[in-house]
Amino acid sequence: MLVLGIESSCDETGVALYDLEHGLIGNQLHTQMAMHAEYGGVVPELASRDHIRRLVPLTESCLAEAGKTYADIDAVAFTQGPGLGGALLAGSSYANALAFSLDKPVIPVHHLEGHLLSPLLADEKPEFPFVALLVSGGHTQFMAVRGIGDYTLLGESVDDAAGEAFDKTAKLLGLPYPGGAKLSELAKLGSPDAFSFPRPMLHSHDLQMSFSGLKTAVLTAVEKVRAENNGSIPEPTRNDICRAFQDAVVDVLTAKAQKALSDTGFRTLVVAGGVGANWKLRETLGRLKILPPAVKGRPKPQPEAVRVFFPPMAYCTDNGAMIAFAGTMRLKHAQTAGSFNVKPRWPLTDIVDKPNI
């Protein structure tokens, strides 16, 4: 069974082919980053138009890469939401038209389910159940995942997503869009003690998070630095701010991950989404241990190891491979009618039908 996956929810056009027997056999991606950079953020209308331009050539390159033809495709999966309405419509119309012309089913996929399942594309795969940390430009959520389609929201950011905070902070520091990855590179050069930013909601006793206050704390620090330096930010100071900001975000995500694992009793953590590419987050979560609660009269509990899975770097940010894969997993429950619509806002917990696999 061969599924073509189409991703077009934001500023990346992704087209991939997933074969149930042989795995991922084609994966093509075009990023619009350079196009949006001069505007300092994604321009939705430009994004939609570019998706339209790229979808056909990317599909042809993907088929050529896999040594397949249109006739070999058994189903077409596409990102139905959440995302930018126009960008989603470009992918949806293309996927539906292609599936209709081939007389094959079309499978609407939730973008976050794509991210969530992307670690299963790695050679070493996590086993259910696990806690998933979805950490992207639009979402920061903890999910209890008991199987495909069985997702319970444990907690999420009440304001900015972690990736959004990375990007906004990068902008404050004068870094070019999209600044998240660049900020994290500069953080490597920063000193750990020069600045200290708050860890919002660290002790909130739940799995809610907040990152907008952190961004404001950075703004205050940046204004002070500028005032002391004739309006500029000296490079070493900028690197120190990057370091302190990243440390604060990673500390919060790590503490909440620990709580999510303790609360559920699961010992597997899966990290997905663009911020999952962050080196510091990978390093810190990679060393995570859980200390079970002490019971009176029993020996002191030993820290328990946690298995932590990250998607391969190439599948951290948006891509077609995760959509082709999630589509394949969903195929048995594919809605072949009425799926042309898109869902720019769509909570992952609203996926009701569970594929029977």
Q: Cα angle vertex 42, ends 60, 13, to 5°?
A: 15
The 33-72 contact track toward ligand KG4, x by CB under 6 A, reads ----------------------------------------
Q: Name beta bridge partners: 267.
A: none
Q: Please choose which of ligand KG4, Zn ion, none residue 141 contacts, taking the beta carbon within 5 to 8 angstroms, the exact cut-off set by kind.
A: none
255 burial (CB, 10 Å; 0-12 / 13-18 / 19+) is: middle
Task: Determine, following the binding rule CB under 5 A, whether residue 27 of this chain makes contact with Zn ion.
Answer: no
The 288-327 contact track toward ligand KG4, x by CB under 6 A, reads -----------------------------xx---------
CB burial of 277-294 (b: ≥16 within 10 Å; e: otherwise) equals bbebbbebbeebebeeee
Q: Which CB atom, from 66 or from 308, has the smaller least distance to ligand KG4?
A: 308
CB burial of 204-224 (b: ≥16 within 10 Å; e: otherwise) equals eeebebbbeebbebbeebbee
Pair 210, 159: CB distance under 8 Å? yes
The interface region with ligand KG4, picked from 44-52, 224-232, 252-260, 269-277 by CB under 6 A, is 269-277
Could you give the 3-state DSSP secondary structure of residue 23?
Answer: strand
Q: Which residue has the tokens 């992918």?
A: 91
CB of 229 to ligand KG4, least distance (A): 26
Please identify which residue in 81, 108, 180, 200 interacts with ligand KG4, judged by CB under 6 A: 180
Task: Determine, following the binding rule CB under 6 A, whether residue 277 of this chain makes contact with ligand KG4.
Answer: yes
Count of residues binding ligand KG4 (CB under 6 A)? Answer: 19
Could you give the 3-state DSSP secondary structure of residue 183?
Answer: helix
Annotated binding residue 92: no
Please, where are the H alpha helices in the chain? 33-37, 44-66, 85-102, 111-117, 162-172, 179-187, 212-228, 235-264, 279-286, 320-330
CB of 319 to Zn ion, least distance (A): 9
Of the candidates 4, 98, 8, the one whose C-alpha atom is nearest the C-alpha of residue 342 is 8
Q: Please choose which of Zn ion, ligand KG4, none residue 126 contacts, taking the beta carbon within 5 to 8 angstroms, the exact cut-off set by kind.
A: none
Q: Please choose which of Zn ion, ligand KG4, none residue 167 contacts, taking the beta carbon within 5 to 8 angstroms, the exact cut-off set by kind.
A: ligand KG4
The interface region with ligand KG4, picked from 73-81, 152-160, 274-282, 299-307 by CB under 6 A, is 274-282
- As annotated, the binding site for substrate includes 134-138, 167, 180, 278
| Contacting positions for ligand KG4 (CB under 6 A) | 10, 136-138, 163-164, 166-167, 178, 180-181, 184, 273-275, 277-278, 317-318
